[in-house]
């Protein structure tokens, strides 16, 4: 039996609770707050040879070497200069720790089940498997990310979920 697709309207969306929201350009995304270890100002990253474009390198986080993924590049967005608002969101993925470069952190959002709709079906050429749904809060639409699928689908060595 195959697993249900994320964007299948009959699939219940279980994305409720608190989410750290952040921006990439004009779009807003959310990560489960319990998966966030810390938020760190952008700092020096050591590049690694022969890594995918989205892997910016590694950084030293209190003695641990943490891979850093630029979510703009991972999502196929145009590159932007890092600013004073650019941060690294350090998250846990299974037993691993990974840093995600985002344009800016917004806030913590409380999401109830009634506010979450399944990801729309955008056709077979569009991968939405890393989304758990879209939260509607007032006029805002926040794409809720499944960090295990997002980083697990990455080509970062040792980070498959």
Supply the pLDDT for residue 66. 95
pLDDT value of residue 19: 94
Q: How far is CA 157 from CA 82, 98, 141, 149, 160, in A?
A: 25, 12, 33, 15, 8
CATH homologous superfamily of domain 17-152? CheA-289, Domain 4 (2.40.50.180)
d(CA 72, CA 42): 15
Which residue matches tokens 């989304």?
Answer: 131
Q: Tens of pLDDT along the chain (161 residues)? A: 333 444 443 333 456 789 999 999 999 999 999 999 999 999 889 999 999 999 999 999 999 999 999 999 998 889 889 999 999 999 999 889 999 999 999 999 999 888 888 877 765 656 667 888 889 988 889 999 999 888 865 545 555 44
Q: What is the pLDDT of residue 126?
A: 61
Task: With 0.85 as the threshold, say if the pTM is over it.
Answer: no
């Amino acid at each position: 039996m195959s697993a249900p697709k994320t964007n299948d309207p009959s699939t219940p969306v279980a994305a409720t609770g608190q989410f750290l929201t952040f921006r990439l350009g004009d779009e807003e995304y959310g990560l489960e707050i319990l998966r966030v270890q810390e938020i760190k100002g952008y700092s020096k990253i050591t590049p690694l040879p022969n890594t995918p474009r989205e892997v910016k390198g590694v950084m030293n986080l209190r003695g641990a070497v943490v891979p850093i993924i630029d979510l703009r590049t991972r999502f196929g967005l145009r590159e932007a200069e890092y600013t004073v608002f650019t941060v690294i969101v350090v998250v846990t993925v299974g037993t691993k720790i990974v840093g995600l470069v985002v344009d800016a952190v917004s806030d913590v959002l409380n999401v109830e089940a009634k506010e979450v709709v399944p990801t729309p079906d955008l056709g077979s050429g569009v991968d939405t498997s890393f989304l758990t749904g879209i939260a509607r809060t007032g006029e805002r639409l926040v794409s809720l990310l499944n960090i295990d699928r997002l980083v697990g689908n990455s080509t970062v060595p040792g980070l498959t979920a």
